[in-house]
Structure 1
Amino acid sequence: MEILLSFFNTILLSFVELLYLLGIIIAIGFLLGLLERYSNRFLYGALGPRGVLLTAWIGTPIHEIGHLLMCFLWGHRVTRIKLLQLNSTDGTLGFVEHAYNRNSIYQQVGNFFIGLGPIFSGIGSLILGLYLLVPQSFATFKLQIQQHVSFEKLDLNVLKNFGDALMVIGKSLFTVQNLETPTFWIYLILAIGISSHIALSKADIQNSAKGLQMIFILLVLFNIAAKFLNIDSYKLIGQLAEYNAYVLAFSSIAILFSLITLTVSFLLYKLKNGRRF
């Protein structure tokens, strides 16, 4: 009975540690997916199928490149790739098909990160575009990160810093000087396109789930070993999970533009339909 209770506690501890390590990035993925779903619904209602295609030309390749880069990083073999297809019969705008060695723990774990690849490539592209096209706003965003974000315990203070980063980047973008600058408008169009296709598809989520299962199993084994070695695994994982403060700060730019995209698509929908819903 005591052994069974100990094993149950290990399973519960591993689940909590999994939330600490990956809960934030998973939550961000679901939030971006929710915002994108409503944005595309409004765009479809306002402009029809071409409404979604207007943003696909930049957003879909960035989405698929995220999968592709993660495939390379985690040792998967890419078998087929299509960065953009506008005439698909099933509505699939792009895809990356890959194979991996099912006996490789490393490659099995990689499924999680391959599935989440579009979040990384989307956020990275938004930050790179900010650096190249709106350097003043990038400098403000960088300063906010340097002064207010650090490796720390995930608590209300981290969430406050996330909210502050969201406000700072928003205020630094929509200034009179930027509104008069052509590169700002180029960046805005690109950012809306990227944020419109940053979320994960059903297939992406299913693929990530495979890797998540392996990560959980590894955490269980790690906690069993930690007990025998008298190591405080919970404290160790908690310290490792402090990187979430940076995940939240950097993801603020993707969430901001997803909110902007939602607002623009909603206004277009209202203008087209002119009715309440």
Structure 2
Amino acid sequence: MNMESSFIHTFLISFVEMLYLVGAFIAVGFLLGFLEKYSNTYLVRAFGRQGVLLTAWIGTPIHEIGHLIQCILWRHKVTKVKLLQVNSSDGVLGYVEHQYNRTSMYQQVGNFFIGLGPLFSGIGSLILGMYLLVPQSYATFKAQIHQHIALGKVDINVLKTIGGAVIAISRSLFTLHNLMTPSFWVFIVLAISISSHIALSKADIRNSANGLVMIFSLLVLFNIVAVFLHVNSYKMIVQLGEYNTYVLAFSSIAVLFSLVTLVFSYLLYKVKIT
């Protein structure tokens, strides 16, 4: 293999390894963004911009707290925080401004996770809300994770398992007993508010892309060193990426309630126009 082919091979392997490591986060982020876009579209059509503001009081602060926590973890300097603003001329509901050392690889990688911060805070808040307000459904969720989800490659069988877990959770959540329980409806309001603002903004995506470039660069460097050391770097990364089964399992909760939010928004829109 000549030098040029070797470099091309290294770049391709690094790209595939990057997908193993962070592809699940990216896929979930885009899926939630797609669902949120249509949910908010129906809310705006039904109630104008005030429709989005109805859920922003809860959803936006949790979104921004996700950015803030990741800034702290990745040692970025937070210069300004606005958890919620309802009268912004540009329509921005909240933001976290931060600075970082551009010579620090750690802080540059952090851009990726800071951009994805709302996914972590949103999913965490949904699970916490389930634990506090609908404990029986939380117990079902926990049991499904322990019994059916394990480290492994993401394939069709894993996706079927996660799909089955989501169905089991849905059945435990939407029961006659819960429908007659006030805490269930409090949870639904919280879940819809969080899910309506869990997706990434364009600025979030740009910030994550900067971190993704550094992650890719580090993988290229890692693979070059691995060649000289005769180490199977691809096998190591694939094994490390097995945590994606848990990423998808926990993310399925956010996807579930984003779908609920979409249906709820559509029904409100249909009622409004009839």
Q: Within 2, Cα distance between the matches of 1:90 and 1:153?
A: 43
Aligned counterparts, 1:36-115, within 5 A: 36-115=36-115
The letter of the residue matching 1:129 is: G
Q: Within 2, Cα distance between the matches of 1:51 and 1:17?
A: 41
The letter of the residue matching 1:63 is: H
Q: Which residue of 1 aligns with 2:237?
A: 237
Q: Within 1, Cα distance between the matches of 2:18 and 2:153?
A: 15
Q: Within 2, Cα distance between the matches of 1:162 and 1:97?
A: 36
For the aligned residue pairs, the C-alpha RMSD in angstroms reads: 0.8
Q: Which residue of 2 aligns with 1:140?
A: 140
Does residue 18 of structure 1 match 2:8? no
Q: Which residue of 1 aligns with 2:217?
A: 217
The letter of the residue matching 1:128 is: L
3-state DSSP of counterpart to 1:106: helix
* Comparing 265-274 and 112-121, the one that deviates more: 265-274
3-state DSSP of counterpart to 1:101: coil
3-state DSSP of counterpart to 1:98: strand
Q: Which residue of 2 aligns with 1:164?
A: 164
Deviation of the 1:273 alpha carbon = 1.7
Q: Which residue of 1 aligns with 2:197?
A: 197
3-state DSSP of counterpart to 2:85: coil
Contact persistence 1:123–1:251 (CA under 8 A): yes
Does residue 121 of structure 1 match 2:105? no
Which residues of structure 2 form unaligned runs of 5+? none
Q: Within 1, Cα distance between the matches of 2:77 and 2:159?
A: 38
The letter of the residue matching 2:17 is: E
Q: Within 2, Cα distance between the matches of 1:33 and 1:56?
A: 16
Count of residue pairs the alignment pairs up = 274
Deviation of the 1:129 alpha carbon = 0.5
The letter of the residue matching 2:21 is: L
Deviation of the 1:165 alpha carbon = 1.9
Q: TM-score, normalised by structure 1?
A: 0.98
Contact persistence 1:192–1:258 (CA under 8 A): yes
Aligned counterparts, 1:144-155, within 5 A: 144-155=144-155
Deviation of the 1:206 alpha carbon = 0.2
Q: Within 2, Cα distance between the matches of 1:10 and 1:140?
A: 44
Q: Which residue of 2 aligns with 1:130?
A: 130
Aligned counterparts, 1:30-41, within 5 A: 30-41=30-41
3-state DSSP of counterpart to 2:243: helix
3-state DSSP of counterpart to 2:221: helix
The letter of the residue matching 1:249 is: A
Deviation of the 1:157 alpha carbon = 1.3
3-state DSSP of counterpart to 2:200: coil
Deviation of the 1:168 alpha carbon = 1.4
3-state DSSP of counterpart to 1:197: coil
Q: Which residue of 2 aligns with 1:260?
A: 260
3-state DSSP of counterpart to 1:103: coil
Q: Within 2, Cα distance between the matches of 1:261 and 1:56?
A: 13
3-state DSSP of counterpart to 1:231: coil
Q: Within 2, Cα distance between the matches of 1:162 and 1:139?
A: 16
Deviation of the 1:161 alpha carbon = 1.6
Contact persistence 1:161–1:249 (CA under 8 A): no
Show CA shifts across 1:152-209 (max 9, x none). 1111111112211211111110011111111110000000000000000000000000
* Comparing 212-221 and 151-160, the one that deviates more: 151-160
Kindly report structure 1 stretches of 4+ aligned residues shifted beyond 4 Å: none
Q: Within 2, Cα distance between the matches of 1:175 and 1:145?
A: 21
The letter of the residue matching 2:247 is: V
Q: Within 2, Cα distance between the matches of 1:158 and 1:85?
A: 41
The letter of the residue matching 1:263 is: V
